[in-house]
Structure 1
Amino acid sequence: MKKLTLLIAGIFLIGVLFAQEMQPAKPVFENGEAQIVKAFEDPDMWIREDLWVETEFDSDGDGKPDRMHVDVTRPRQTETEGLKLPVVYNTSPYFAGTAGNNPEYFWNVNHEIGEKPKQYTYPPEIKRRGGRPIISKGHVNTWVPRGYIVVHSSSPGTSLSDGSPTVGGENESLAPKAVIDWLCGRAKGYKTRTGNEEVNAYWSTGKVGMTGTSYNGTLPLAAATTGVDGLEAIIPVAPNTSYYHYYRSNGLVRSPGGYMGEDIDVLFDFIHSGDLDKRAYAREQVRDTEMRNGMDRITGDYNDFWAGRDYLNQMGPMKAALLMSHGFNDWNVMPEHSFRIYEAAKAKGIPTQIYYHQNGHGGPPPMTIMNRWFTRYLHEVENGVENDPVAWIVREDDERDNPTPYKDYPNPDASPVKFYLSKGAPEKGGLSTTPTRKQGKETLVDNYSFSSEALAKAEYTGHRLIYVTPVLKEDVHISGKPVIAIKAASSKPAVNLSVYLVSLPWQESRSPRRPVKITDNLITRGWADLQNYKSLTESKPLKAGKFYEMTFELQPDDQVIKAGQQIGLMIFSSDKEFTLHPEPGTKLTVDLDGTSIEIPVVGGAGAYKKAVE
């Protein structure tokens, strides 16, 4: 009898397991997050295919609408069981390879400010890499097992997509819009680049989320600014939100960190991997005409060309929920790029969160935060993400997957504390919340051959001015954007102006394998062209010896300056790693009584006073 009972129980268990196996596979959610589903996690059971989506523009001059190359990776159940799933979409100009980062093909930065630079050497043709049907394998292992379809597309003029790169032009917004329209049944897809056999996205729910890093993080924002229906949520990571802010700073020609001499036309050549027989048209119409006539590498002024490549100006139609991610020490795509869009999206009432870490370029939010975001807006699971903390900041000694939640960024408890300068050149002067008048003027001599690190570490030098607070007796938490108001004069008609906030004394290396870098001691920094003291759109040559007043923001930051350190304001001219390199010798004179800086301190003036007394 006992054996019979066990046999019956075994048969019942097998039946239950068999019934479970026969049930249609579907996404599973726990704690507001999509879980890995066994039926979706075997790559051998995924369907991979590619196609071309027709757009509403012709950017390669052949008289026909451009078609974007698209790949799809989806669970087999979308074919065998009629399962429909939402889409995680990633688009890029990089999928076919690039021209590489050879400085030989960048602009020469060794010349006077305002001087017309010599033309750079063009890079060799990009040879497309990769084959059909796979454009990229990125994101598939993360999202397909969790019940999503992953889609990639190559940007206009790259890989097997038609068109021309425009580096922020309208077609780079309309291209992903067309793919989303296709995913929602509003645009046509074709099996081949030139054929008429159509392909439909019958497996899509019409809910799309986008993510990516750097240029690939810019394009989700570009698509979102079109207001396209079906794009429900985006997670841009270190996005370039304004090409002016990427290649210029407050009127100054300034390179992105690590890419001295790069400009928007160089980036065009870097990504232009499309059809060889169509490259000549794109170079003539886009690079040599539109870009060269608009980019103005001589004055650095803001103009219509740059305004058209600033996504902040295009946010009117945007409605996709925004989870923004960036690093405070990203000196390639600087942290202002994310912050300016975050502020605007929040003001529009768009569901918005921001994640900042203390490292450099790249770095997505923790998987839990991303998962909750896409689960809520793509699967429409009411997981309460809208009630989660708005800001996530990784503290200095924490891991990136362990951010500290805050009510907002900047910290709502931060308020500006105004600091005044007292003389001390060529050594260190003072930085105090109490104004000390009749401090006079101090002068530095420009010399780009000295790095910012060397200038910050120097005890005595005539190539920078530096002003420091008393030693902190307690930690000081800075959150937000410092603002400097400077009164200065130049001995020449143009001068680079570089401003750093640093933490001193210089930290010692914790390991012989890891030397201390400027970013270990850097709070934040900024650059400006004194010729633009009145207007970002119009610069005027400086009169030698005449003082001009200019106010501008430094990059946003959130950092705790430890007790035992001093906060230092360093003012110098040419920045070896970022600005043009004019002939050394220009004199920059600062009127100390007319110069001050406001630093956002958590707890305001009271907290700072307590820290130094």
Structure 2
Amino acid sequence: MILRDSRSYRCLVAIFMFTTLAVQGQMANKVGPVIKNGEAQVVEAFSDPGTWIRHDLWVETEFDSDGDGKPDRMHVDVTRPGQTDTQGLKLPIIYESSPYYAGTAGLDKGIFWDVKHELGEPGKPRKHPDVTRVGERPIISNSQVRTWVPRGYIVVHSSSPGTGLSDGAPTVGGDNESLAPKAVIDWLNGRAKAYSERNGNEEVKAFWSTGKVGMTGTSYNGTIPLAAATTGVEGLEAIIPIAPNTSYYHYYRSNGLVRSPGGYLGEDIDVLYDFIHSGDESKRARNNKVVRDTEMKNGQDRITGDYNDFWAGRDYLNDMKPMKAALLMSHGFNDWNVMPEHSYRIYKKAKEMGIPAQIYYHQNGHGGPPPISMMNKWFTRYLHGVENGVENEPRAWIVRENEQKDNPTPYEDYPNPKAKEVTLYLNQGAPSKGQLSSVKPKKQGTETLIDNYNFPGADLAKEDVSENRLLYVTPPLKADVHISGVPTINIRLASSKPAANLSVWLVSLPWTEALDSKITDNIITRGWADPQNHESLSKSAPLVPNKFYELEFELMPDDQIIPEGQQIGLMIFSSDKEFTLWPEPGTELTVDLDGTTLTLPVVGGKIKL
């Protein structure tokens, strides 16, 4: 450039100096994540929601689950700090996906299956509800944003296939529910396309993403992180599933028995399908015919309750081979909706595979995330790559009885490595209480109970005398007993009919309504089974009346300290009013006491009686 006079030169210098100072000012004000003590800290510049950028888009998948000949697109929203625009800041992502964001069907009693019928019968037809979509664009959900955006993360949500403004069909555990979040993670890593409109062609780029993604959520929202992780998608570095459903068979069946999740008597997988199907109304008739009325109707099998290919395809334990995302699981030992076995089975497999894994258990019911500090360290380690040593900390964190959820006790692992099997034997006592002993007794013979669903399990456990259950209790404990792991029952029994429910509870007695400060719950753990599946989970056969059969099955995992002075009780009964079908009362179950044992995993390997 030729400077024609000194005035032009001075002007150019002034412009250069102003620009330099402006750039220096921007650099001085540039912000980013702050890591302290191995955790991402709240940053003031990220904390004002008024400065956040919020928008939505549609990510294109590789599947067409609604059969319209086009790849399904998933509705996605984004919440990110303004600095991702003004300063070109790139940040990791916390991602939650759900079928619930756009609204669900009501819990009208008619949408559930009627459980009052004989075993092996289909039951009365149920009502199929309509779901009215709710929700406004562009924000699908506000979950996670106030926790993670101020800490320097971008929060992303997506609606599951066939829900809200996402294309596709809900399949309740089908492959598309794994591939949908995979597509979103691929987009966050530049491997998939997204568009500003559901049917538009204007692309949206995730220029603000580092490509490092962590997923979390509770219940169904906790299932989806695991579903995504089983695809092995690159960029999904860590997941924190909270009370996840890891197998729809284990959710709706138990050892061959048709069993409802706690609190939702008569629910089955087709009920959940109807409950979440809030997607495009023009596609619902086709989805209902293909998914609910064909695949689910033929596969769920409420007649036998057997495990089959339909259920195997909805068991994430079978799909874990590609998984590599670091795993922090959370569950409640008294979650009788999504029961604690769901997390334990995945945690156990992840350890076997060499995946970094921790588990957090509390003594309450459904839901309950780990303390924010635990989650923060997990995401900081795997999304920011900060070597905070979290993977070297104790594997198991368990909230002890009457402790706060944010004060778990660390253990080397779960089950407690110091737990050893203790076998307990049954002594006669029906219709009152028999004894549960660590000493094998002389021949005890048989005892019989009469099935009657009208009596809830808690009432049966409280009664001193009842013909509707068999109850065997230890003497009062002379010292606390710490159970850690999976109790197992071996039982030899006969039924007066070709089919019968079998329910087993482990309880702490005496039963107290106003619980002692040391007792979290009188119910230690529970289990259910179908005697028709005594030889195989995938093949059942009618029982020969009054013929004895041997069964062995696990109760739900637990970690509980039964206080000194209490008694441990094993209760055997038939129909469980809260969980099983309700056949006509009167079926008799006869238990061979000499062929029946209870095995407890006890820390220290001793029960002082």
TM-score of the superposed pair, with normalisation by structure 2: 0.95
Q: Are residues 1:350 and 2:355 paired?
A: yes
Q: Which residue of 1 aligns with 2:49?
A: 43
Q: Which residue among 367, 371, 385 is the counterpart of 1:366?
A: 371
Q: Which residue of 1 aligns with 2:244?
A: 239
Distance 1:179 1:571, change over 3 A: same
Question: Aligned partners of 2:391 and 2:251: how far apart in 1?
Answer: 31
Letter in 1 for 2:128: Y
Q: Which residue among 470, 481, 493 is the counterpart of 2:486?
A: 481
Q: Which residue of 1 aligns with 2:321?
A: 316
Q: Which residue among 194, 204, 207 is the counterpart of 2:212?
A: 207
What RMSD in Å do the two structures reach over aligned CA positions?
Answer: 1.5
Question: Aligned partners of 2:26 and 2:329: how far apart in 1?
Answer: 39
SS of 1:57's partner is: coil
Q: Are residues 1:446 and 2:451 paired?
A: yes
Question: Aligned partners of 1:343 and 1:236: how far apart in 2?
Answer: 14
Q: Which residue of 1 aligns with 2:77?
A: 71
Question: Aligned partners of 2:497 and 2:470: how far apart in 1?
Answer: 19
Q: Which residue of 2 aligns with 1:335?
A: 340
Question: Aligned partners of 2:55 and 2:461: how far apart in 1?
Answer: 55
SS of 1:176's partner is: helix
Letter in 2 for 1:539: S
Deviations 1:525-560 (A, max 9, x none): 000000000000000000110000000000000000
Q: Which residue among 71, 78, 89 is the counterpart of 2:95?
A: 89
Q: Which residue of 2 aligns with 1:436?
A: 441
SS of 2:344's partner is: helix
Deviations 1:266-292 (A, max 9, x none): 000000000100000100000000000
Question: Aligned partners of 1:364 and 1:88: how far apart in 2?
Answer: 15
Deviation of 1:23 after TM superposition, in Å, equals 2.6
Kindly indicate whether the alpha-carbon contact (under 8 Å) linking 2:262 and 2:579 is maintained by their aligned counterparts in 1: yes
More deviation in 224-233 or 426-435?
426-435
Q: Which residue of 2 aligns with 1:392?
A: 397
Deviation of 1:505 after TM superposition, in Å, equals 0.6
Q: Which residue of 2 aligns with 1:325?
A: 330
SS of 1:376's partner is: helix
Kindly indicate whether the alpha-carbon contact (under 8 Å) linking 1:241 and 1:310 is maintained by their aligned counterparts in 2: yes
Q: Are residues 1:303 and 2:316 paired?
A: no
- Identity of matched residues, %: 72
Deviation of 1:437 after TM superposition, in Å, equals 2.7
Deviations 1:162-183 (A, max 9, x none): 0000000000000000000000
Residue correspondence of structure 1 range 19-418 to structure 2 within 5 A? 22-123=28-129, 125-418=130-423
Q: Are residues 1:546 and 2:535 paired?
A: no
Q: Are residues 1:577 and 2:578 paired?
A: yes
> Alignment length, in residue pairs?
587
Q: Which residue of 2 aligns with 1:566?
A: 567
Letter in 2 for 1:495: A
Question: Aligned partners of 1:343 and 1:438: how far apart in 2?
Answer: 39
Distance 1:20 1:436, change over 3 A: farther
Deviation of 1:571 after TM superposition, in Å, equals 0.1
Deviations 1:391-445 (A, max 9, x none): 0000011000000000000000001100110000000001111111310000000
Question: Aligned partners of 2:423 and 2:556: how far apart in 1?
Answer: 17
Deviation of 1:22 after TM superposition, in Å, equals 3.5
Structure 1 unaligned residues grouped into runs of 5+: 1-14
Letter in 2 for 1:139: Q
Kindly indicate whether the alpha-carbon contact (under 8 Å) linking 1:84 and 1:203 is maintained by their aligned counterparts in 2: yes
Kindly indicate whether the alpha-carbon contact (under 8 Å) linking 2:515 and 2:521 is maintained by their aligned counterparts in 1: no
Question: Aligned partners of 1:555 and 1:430: how far apart in 2?
Answer: 23
Deviations 1:21-62 (A, max 9, x none): 933110001100000000000000000000000000000010
Deviation of 1:130 after TM superposition, in Å, equals 1.1
Letter in 2 for 1:149: I
Q: Which residue of 2 aligns with 1:8?
A: none
SS of 2:569's partner is: strand
Deviation of 1:98 after TM superposition, in Å, equals 0.4
Kindly indicate whether the alpha-carbon contact (under 8 Å) linking 1:71 and 1:152 is maintained by their aligned counterparts in 2: yes
Q: Which residue of 2 aligns with 1:603?
A: 604
Structure 2 unaligned residues grouped into runs of 5+: 1-20
Question: Aligned partners of 1:437 and 1:270: how far apart in 2?
Answer: 54
Question: Aligned partners of 1:586 and 1:428: how far apart in 2?
Answer: 21
Question: Aligned partners of 1:165 and 1:533: how far apart in 2?
Answer: 34
Deviation of 1:117 after TM superposition, in Å, equals 1.4
Deviation of 1:19 after TM superposition, in Å, equals 6.5
Question: Aligned partners of 1:81 and 1:31: how far apart in 2?
Answer: 26
Deviation of 1:577 after TM superposition, in Å, equals 0.1
Letter in 2 for 1:99: A
SS of 2:249's partner is: helix
Question: Aligned partners of 1:224 and 1:122: how far apart in 2?
Answer: 32
Q: Which residue among 455, 458, 464 is the counterpart of 2:469?
A: 464
Kindly indicate whether the alpha-carbon contact (under 8 Å) linking 1:85 and 1:204 is maintained by their aligned counterparts in 2: yes
Question: Aligned partners of 2:263 and 2:554: how far apart in 1?
Answer: 22
Letter in 1 for 2:101: F
Letter in 2 for 1:59: S
Kindly indicate whether the alpha-carbon contact (under 8 Å) linking 2:328 and 2:357 is maintained by their aligned counterparts in 1: yes
Deviation of 1:126 after TM superposition, in Å, equals 1.2
Residue correspondence of structure 1 range 477-556 to structure 2 within 5 A? 477-509=482-514, 520-556=521-557
Deviation of 1:508 after TM superposition, in Å, equals 4.1
SS of 1:198's partner is: coil
Question: Aligned partners of 1:467 and 1:564: how far apart in 2?
Answer: 16
Kindly indicate whether the alpha-carbon contact (under 8 Å) linking 2:503 and 2:574 is maintained by their aligned counterparts in 1: yes
Letter in 1 for 2:420: S
Kindly indicate whether the alpha-carbon contact (under 8 Å) linking 1:507 and 1:520 is maintained by their aligned counterparts in 2: no
TM-score of the superposed pair, with normalisation by structure 1: 0.94
SS of 1:199's partner is: coil
Deviation of 1:386 after TM superposition, in Å, equals 1.1
The 4+ residue runs of structure 1 with deviation greater than 6 A are 18-21
Letter in 2 for 1:550: L
Question: Aligned partners of 2:211 and 2:127: how far apart in 1?
Answer: 46
More deviation in 341-350 or 99-108?
99-108
Deviations 1:496-518 (A, max 9, x none): 0000100001124169xx9x99x
Deviation of 1:20 after TM superposition, in Å, equals 9.7
SS of 2:498's partner is: coil
Distance 1:190 1:20, change over 3 A: closer
Deviation of 1:569 after TM superposition, in Å, equals 0.3
Deviation of 1:65 after TM superposition, in Å, equals 0.1
Kindly indicate whether the alpha-carbon contact (under 8 Å) linking 1:481 and 1:600 is maintained by their aligned counterparts in 2: yes
Question: Aligned partners of 1:521 and 1:237: how far apart in 2?
Answer: 24
Kindly indicate whether the alpha-carbon contact (under 8 Å) linking 1:301 and 1:538 is maintained by their aligned counterparts in 2: yes
Question: Aligned partners of 2:355 and 2:442: how far apart in 1?
Answer: 47
Letter in 1 for 2:82: R
